[in-house]
Amino acid sequence: MADFYDLLGVSSSASADEIKKAYRQRARELHPDANPDDAEAEGKFKEVARAYQVLSDAKQRQRYDQFGEAGVGGGSGGGGGQSAEDMFGGGLGDIFDAFFSGSGGSPFGGGGRSRGPNGPPRGQDLETVADLTLEQAVFGDQISVELKLPVACGDCDATGAGEGTKPVTCSDCGGAGQVQRVRQSLLGQMVTASPCGRCGGMGQVIATPCSACRGQGRVTADKSYQVDVPGGVDTGSTLRLTGRGAAGPRGGGNGDLYVHMRVSPHDHYVREGNDLITDVGISFAQAALGTSLRLETLDGDEDLVIPAGTQPGREFTLRQRGVPHLQGRGRGDLIARVRVDIPTKLSDDEVEALTSYAMGRDEVVGNGKEGLFSRIKSAFS
């Protein structure tokens, strides 16, 4: 027999979880149901089963690492002459029942052992979108979301049965919601399971359906939920409301409701991460000579001092005036970015004053057609 680690495709230092995962994958690939009439795959499957039997047991694995196959009974093709069925005490159907019972049954036919009545399925998860203002996103708020969804039927108390009646246990599956079939294979007894055709997997049969819900145990209705929005959310943030989704049929549990945030654009602020950016328009004279102005923030007005000689694009940062960190302490900053507004129309006095200023700095100015400096010069000549 090949090296046990090689058979499973793992290294000799692999963890128990890695060995288990590798065995699942190899077992699926080599299982006789997936390879009918393939003797080579059947033989390899037995070897893989033997390898997993040894490596999944800490003591046997230690002996194997020290002495090889001789340390765990030697032999080939299943370990000392044992069959795969003998090794696992009940056939390969039992191997997969035990191995996959916690994750949906055997991968080769949907089932595994019965785990008792399945009961009604859980309702679907639902999604909706909530529109927020920037202020709501920054400071948080309690909002209302409204949607239409399946809810438990009040007429039948979600049983689906008509007045004066009740569901009865399905005679075909005995309330399990699934039926099992046992067949013999070359490797032993195989057990498969499938949803019961009589009750649709519910485990119960309704002879007289409720007229309001037609036997579903749920009806569609309008619902309104109050949602607590934490400060710091942004477009794309999602809140989960556990148990606020669709009701399951016939008393099944509710799914979850996922509320996706969508923040509307603001007239004055642009969000960049947890910072807020705003443009502050000042005149040429204010930029050159400096000024002090009132800056509107989401927390109230702030005094902003613009020093003389401020250039367009200069940024002034107001600490802790931005968006709260959603999963942490503190807030981002408010960044005021200077924009120098150039007037498009000037009075004659303003033109004369600016021209005099330009002449004093030996700057050539004009209106794009005839140089204003030339016209002023010619007027004084």
Do 70 and 46 fall into the same domain?
A: yes
pTM of the model: 0.60
253 and 282 in a common domain: no
For residues 158 and 214, membership in a common domain is answered with yes
Pair (276, 250) in one structural domain: no
Please count the other Cβ atoms lying within 10 Å of the Cβ belonging to residue 24.
Answer: 16
Query: What CATH number corresponds to the domain at position 281?
Result: 2.60.260.20
In a domain, 331, yes or no: yes
Instruction: Give, for all 381 residues of the chain, the pLDDT tens digit.
Output: 678 988 899 998 899 989 998 988 888 888 777 777 788 888 888 888 888 988 998 888 888 887 777 777 654 444 443 444 444 333 344 344 334 433 333 333 333 333 334 568 899 999 999 999 999 999 999 999 999 999 999 999 999 999 999 999 998 888 888 888 887 766 667 777 888 888 888 888 999 999 999 999 999 999 999 999 999 999 999 999 999 999 999 999 999 999 999 999 999 999 999 999 999 999 999 999 999 999 999 999 999 999 999 999 999 999 999 999 987 789 999 999 999 999 989 999 998 998 998 999 898 887 555 444 444 544 444
Q: Are residues 247 and 290 in the same domain?
A: no
Query: What is the residue range of 375's domain?
Result: 348-380
Instruction: Determine contact, residues 202/170, Cβ cutoff 8 Å.
Output: yes
**One domain, residues 238 and 276:** no
CB 212 within 8 A of CB 161: no
Residues 129 and 250 reside in one and the same domain: yes
Residue 367 lies in a domain: yes
- List the alpha helices (DSSP H) in the chain: 4-8, 16-30, 39-55, 58-67, 84-88, 92-100, 134-139, 284-289, 348-360, 372-380
